[in-house]
Chains A and B, each alone.
Chain A
Amino acid sequence: MENILSILVFFPAVAGLLGFVIDKDSAKAYGVTVAAIEFLLSLWLWFSFDTASAGMQFVEMIPLIPDMGISYYVGADGISLFIIIMTTLMTLIGMASMGETKNIKNMIVTLLFLEMTMIGVFVALDAIIFYLFWELSLVPMLYIIGAWGGPLRVYASIKFFLYTFTGSLIMLVGMLFVAYIYHSLTGVWSFAITDWYALVLPVDYQLWLFAAFFIGFAIKVPMFPFHTWIPYAHGQAPTIGSVILAAVLLKMGTYGFVRFSLPMFPDASVMAITPVAVLSLIMIVYTAMIAYAQKDIKQVIAYSSVSHMGIIMLGLFAMNAEGLSGSVFQMLSHGIVSGALFMLVGMIYERRHTKLMSEFGGLASVMPKFAVIFGVMLMASVGLPLTIGFVGEFLVLLGFYQVSPIITIIAGTSIILGAVYMLRVMKFTFFGPLNNEENKKLKDLNRRETWSLIPLVAIVIWLGVYPKPVLEPIDNSVKALLNFMDEKALTKEAKDMIRVAKSSKEVK
């Protein structure tokens, strides 16, 4: 199956279309089955993936609009492979653990279309196809937040849509400009990213284009000044919406940096290290402080997720293999951990219809299973050794230490700050006296909930102890990317920055 990527993209879409005729009561079973098949397909992708090779695999190319250079062009490398698997896994588990009952059929169909767009973003190798899936992913998310969300859902969903839409239109102009340069140099129209990689752009062009792409990606991540949409989106979204948003949609932004900004504009990227690092630091420290001040458990997790995205951004701009690999690994771990945390909050919300910490206390005695799983995820989120969160965070900090020890030390406080606000949640929710009468009647996790969380706990511990099977393919592709950037870089300082990092890796 050389065309497995196309199958992965279009299988959920076809299933979504067919889902319209499924009976309402069977819709959820249908959705979970489809998502499970999709997950197995993505595992198949992993097994048939040549982990030793760093390049693009399973490449398919069908010209769509040759006059404009647009073609259906997909492929996967070590970086996108695991994000795809994480996407299918989180969709499956999110769907399986979903407690929604209102309009369940519409929800399932929407989720399946959303899955198509998410996988499409991660496999696209043509800028316009990438943009197509990127924009299309807004529509199902708009519907999920807007139809199943909290009281401010309409405001939150429109804010989410318009923010991202505006940013990506600027990015589109950037893409069109790159295509124009490509055409004026080669005489051929092309939006294929692999063709664009061959372009060596002057530094001032790189800076402008970097800025255009930065706006598109940074809003999605969300980087510090552009993050204001996310508290509303998370606050109002239903559980499944938050899970998908935190686990997958935010990764589109960071993935965009890896796929577009770094290899296409290496000099501009090196110049942007300091500003991006400063913004990331603000993101890490400032949102961690906000997280501490929250009364609502879900908001704590939302802000902690933004804070951890800052670590990912920092790693991306470390310009060395440790930082980048750690950053890609952190994308996976952040997806699994924050997805699981949002699910856990959703479960408690379904029982009590409140997310306020003050309403809880002493839950560990009535809900022991819940408390244990929550504890494991919390540790992983903080980045405790032997959990998945540690590997990525450690590598990122190790990588960025070679760039700037001071920034790394400040960023390292995120582990402490994270421990502070997370343990505060733990303390107020699970420990202390069980005062509230209503909490005494709470039921522990049922079978559906337990079994949808146990795989995630297993992954958190497995990859925390032995990350090699995942880290190695990522590392291969990341090294190839860095080599490529090094060759392409024009300015001496960019070359130095990228090369220094590479040699230090070789010494070890």
Chain B
Amino acid sequence: MLSPINVSLESLNLITLAPMLIAVVGGLIILVLDLLNNKLHKSLYVMLTILVLFIDFGAVLGLNVNERGFFDVMLIDGISIISQLMVIGGSMMFIPLALTSKKFHEYSYPEFFALFLFMIAGFQFMVASDNLILIFVGLETASLSLYTLIALHNRANSYEAAVKYFTMGALAAGFFTMGSAVIYALTGSIELYKVAEVLATRVNETGLMIAIFGSSVLLLVAFAFKISLFPFHTWVPDVYEGASAPLAGYMSVVPKIAAFVVSIRIFGMYLDLGVEWVRWTILILAVITMTLANIMALVQNDVKRMLAYSSISHAGFIMAALALDTTEGNTSIFLYYALFMFTNLGAFTMLWISRHKKRIFDTRYDHPYEKFSGLVQTMPMAAVIMGIFMLSLAGVPPFSVFWGKIYVMQAAVNAGYIWLAIIMGLNSAIAAYYYLKLIVYMFLKDPVQDAETVSYNMSRSLMVIIGFATAATVGAIFYVQPLISYLYYMISASGY
């Protein structure tokens, strides 16, 4: 006969679940509101979502560092707090982009906003756990919501993008479960901290290396899909092209932050065990990713596809920092994404402004380079702002991404990887070319369209977001110091 299990409520430490629950409840409230009155305007849902995220943000800020909860599957350490804050912050910047002057299909459904909040809850579960099953559940919750959000953008190539992303995501999920299964077979546990303990004692056993090797390869493949590392990056340009511009900008930052946190937990464990070749695999993949994506970006005709390849290249850049396995390296991951988030989302918002319901400018692409030619003469402010975003992405000081780049490169130099820093430098130089290409079109060519074509979708809330992104990009030098010290403190407090 089974003896009854007694669990005291306090030992569950339910407060660790509060942020995710807030997001889920917020999503449910939106669904219920729709049931009660289905004529509500999207602006209500946008504002409700922001408010829910605001409470969520506060709840995360109130968490104590280094706590466990809910049968010890929840892990609230420094990186889970900062990554949750970044996920929520990025989402708060994304959601006002629904308030365009023209109507778009997806935002007329309240389900969009509910799914969006569920997705955020999924990301939060992903980063706030070291239990492989909970990570998997979070990953799938977030991914399935995201596939739907992409498909809601009512266009043929959006369906294509969603299905492509779904297929790739399902494959990655398969790899992830297989990798977890191998880990379970090796250690009898799926809690990463226990796995690390067991593996540490068994790592020198003969014949076991191949199994450890297998598990890390399977997990690496799974996350290479999510982070878009070579050779698992091929879905990115098509999916970004099919998704709406803000969603593409969102996808290039927020899901990747979540995936990076899990990667730090999993591959950091392998690196701590002294499995050197994991480091080399990651480094080689990262170097190939940034170089290849840069070269692919050179030949794109569409600004959105160019930005998609550029975001792959940036991801490769950051993946290299992960392989360093130093506190600085891990800090640089978050610093880079925190700074990259504003600039990249700003750049995608500029594309969103110039978005038309039908492709009136080009038959194949929504945002060909030609669309922006001579922009400085028709809309000087827009051209200057877009130019600043491009320079920032290229790593020209004093704009935000430069500080991320220099921190990553400094971390690489400090860890003894000078060759890596040089490769990063040369890659930045290659990247400068395609960012310049847009600047050349905007500043040095004559206009072929009227201002109306580019500012078609302009609205006040979009202007606010762009203004905010511009301020964050230009004024980076003034907030980099507190950002670094906060991130460094949180990351070193959680022992990475």
B240 within 8 A of partner (CB): no
Q: Do A162 and B440 touch (CB < 8 A)?
A: no
A132: chain B residues at CB < 8 Å are 397-398
Interface readout for A144-184 with B: 1 if CB under 8 Å, 0 if not? 00110000011001100110011001101100110110010
Residues of B within 8 A of A136 (CB): 396-398
User: How long is the Cα–Cα vector from A53 to B391 in the complex, in angstroms?
Assistant: 40
Q: Are B409 and A158 in contact (CB under 8 A)?
A: no
Whether A161 and B397, one on each chain, are in contact in the complex, defined by CB atoms closer than 8 angstroms, is no
Q: Give chain B residues whose Cβ lies under 8 Å from the Cβ of A405.
A: none
Size category of the A interface is 20 to 34
A66 to B407, CA, bound (A): 13
Contact for A68 among B410, B413, B445, CB less than 8 A: B410
CB pair B413 A172 closer than 8 Å: no
Query: Do A169 and B410 form a contact, CB below 8 Å, given A64-B477, A132-B398?
Result: no
The B450-478 residues at the A interface (CB cut-off 8 A) are 477-478
Given A135-B396, A146-B440, verify A161-B425 contact (CB < 8 Å): no
Q: In the complex, A459→B421 CA distance in Å?
A: 46
Per-residue interface assignment for chain B, residues 410 to 449, with 1 indicating a CB less than 8 Å from any chain A CB and 0 otherwise: 1001100010011001101100110010011001110000
Report if A67-B485 is in contact (Cβ < 8 Å); known contacts: A143-B443, A146-B440, A165-B429.
yes
**In the bound complex, CA of A157 to CA of B440 (Å):** 9
Distance in angstroms from B142 CB to nearest chain A CB is: 33
| CB of B376 closer than 8 Å to a CB of A | yes
Q: Is B480 an interface residue (CB 8 A)?
A: yes
Q: Say yes or no: is A131 at the interface (Cβ < 8 Å to chain B).
A: yes
How far apart sit A128 and B406, CA to CA, in the bound complex (Å)?
Answer: 10
Please report which residues of chain A, range 59-77, place their CB below 8 angstroms from some CB of chain B when the two chains form the complex.
64-68
Alpha-carbon gap, A177 to B444, bound state (A): 37
Q: Is B63 an interface residue (CB 8 A)?
A: no
Shortest distance from the beta carbon of A482 to any chain B beta carbon, whole Å: 31
Measured CB to CB, the closest approach of chain A to B163, in angstroms, equals 39
Closest A residue to B420 by beta carbon equals A173
Closest to A134 in B: B397
B168 within 8 A of A: no
- Closest B residue, CB atoms, query A64: B477
Q: For A106, what are the chain B residues with a Cβ–Cβ distance below 8 Å?
A: 376
Pair A67/B421 contact, Cβ less than 8 Å = no
Chain A residues near B414 (CB, 8 Å)? 180, 183
Q: Are A67 and B484 in contact (CB under 8 A)?
A: yes
Residues of A within 8 A of B396 (CB): 135-136, 138-139
Is the CB of B57 closer than 8 A to any CB of chain A? no
Closest to B480 in A: A65
User: Are B425 and A154 in contact (CB-based, < 8 A)?
Assistant: no
Expressed in whole angstroms, the Cα–Cα distance for A170 and B413 within the complex equals 13
Residues B296-330 near A (CB distance < 8 A)? none
Are B484 and A68 in contact, CB atoms less than 8 angstroms apart?
A: yes
Interface contact A147-B443, CB-CB below 8 Å: yes
Flag if A158 contacts B428 (CB, 8 Å).
no
In the complex, whether B481 has a CB less than 8 A from a CB of chain A is yes
Closest residue to A103 on the B side, CB-wise?
Answer: B377
**Contact partners of B444 in chain A: CB under 8 A:** 143, 146-147, 153-154, 157
Contacts of B428 in A (CB 8 A): 165, 169
B488 CB–A CB distance under 8 Å:
yes
A89 to B484, CA, bound (A): 41
B413 near A176 with CB under 8 A, answer yes
- The answer on a CB contact under 8 Å between B436 and A170 is no
CA distance A142 to B440 in the complex (A): 9
Q: Which residues of A contact B397 (CB under 8 A)?
A: 128, 131-132, 135-136
Give bound CA distance, A230 to B289, whole Å: 33
Within the assembled complex, what's the spacing in Å between the Cα atoms of A342 and B429? 30
Residue of B nearest to A189 (CB): B410
Residue among B414, B436, B445 facing the most chain A CB atoms (10 A cut-off): B436
Cβ A176 vs Cβ B376 within 8 A: no
Closest to A65 in B: B481
Q: B436 touches which one: A64, A161, A177 (CB < 8 A)?
A: A161
Provide the bound-state CA to CA distance between A139 and B390, in Å.
12
Complex: chain A residue closest to B377, CB-CB: A103
Q: Would you give the 0/1 interface string for A353-368, flagging 1 where the beta carbon is closer than 8 Å to chain B?
A: 0000000000000000
Q: Are A172 and B409 neighbours in the complex by a CB distance under 8 Å?
A: yes
Residues of B within 8 A of A139 (CB): 391, 396
Cβ < 8 Å to A, chain B residues 341-388: 376
Interface residues of A in 107-152 (CB under 8 A from B): 128, 131-132, 135-136, 138-139, 142-143, 146-147
Known contacts A135-B397, A146-B443; A179/B410 CB under 8 A = yes
Alpha-carbon distance A169/B432, docked complex (angstroms):
11
| Cβ-defined contact, A162 with B488, below 8 A | no
Nearest residue (CB) in A for B479 is A65
Residues 460-487 of A, flagged 1 when their CB comes within 8 A of B and 0 if not, give 0000000000000000000000000000
Query: In the bound complex, do residue B488 and residue A67 qualify as a contact, i.e. CB atoms below 8 Å apart?
Result: yes
Neighbouring B residues of A128 by C-beta, 8 Å: 397, 406
Contact A66 B481 (CB under 8 A): yes
Report the Cα distance A180→B413, complex, angstroms.
7
CA–CA, A64 and B445, complex, Å: 38
**B436: A residues at CB distance < 8 A:** 142, 158, 161-162
Nearest CB of A to B384, in Å: 9
A162 and B481 in contact (CB under 8 A), knowing A136-B398, A143-B443, A154-B440? no
Q: Which of B260-314 contact A (CB under 8 A)?
A: none
Which residue on chain A has the smallest CB distance to residue B429? A166
Could you tell me if B440 and A158 are in contact, using CB atoms closer than 8 angstroms?
yes
Known: A65-B480, A173-B409, A176-B406. A161 touches B391 (CB 8 A): no
- Are A170 and B480 closer than 8 Å at their CB atoms? no
Given A67-B488, A158-B440, 11 additional A-B pairs, CB 8 A? A67-B481, A128-B397, A128-B406, A135-B397, A136-B396, A146-B440, A157-B440, A162-B432, A166-B426, A166-B429, A170-B425
Top 5 closest pairs, chain A to chain B, by CB: A169-B425, A132-B397, A166-B429, A146-B444, A65-B481
Interface residues of B (CB under 8 A from A): 376, 391, 396-398, 403, 406-407, 409-410, 413-414, 418, 421-422, 425-426, 428-429, 432-433, 436, 439-440, 443-445, 477-478, 480-481, 484-485, 488
* Chain A residues within 8 Å of B, Cβ to Cβ: 64-68, 106, 128, 131-132, 135-136, 138-139, 142-143, 146-147, 153-154, 157-158, 161-162, 165-166, 169-170, 172-173, 176-177, 179-180, 183
List 27 A-B pairs, Cβ < 8 Å: A64-B478, A65-B480, A65-B484, A67-B485, A68-B410, A135-B397, A138-B396, A139-B396, A142-B436, A147-B443, A153-B444, A154-B440, A154-B444, A154-B445, A158-B440, A162-B432, A165-B432, A172-B406, A173-B413, A173-B422, A173-B425, A176-B410, A177-B418, A177-B421, A180-B410, A180-B413, A180-B414
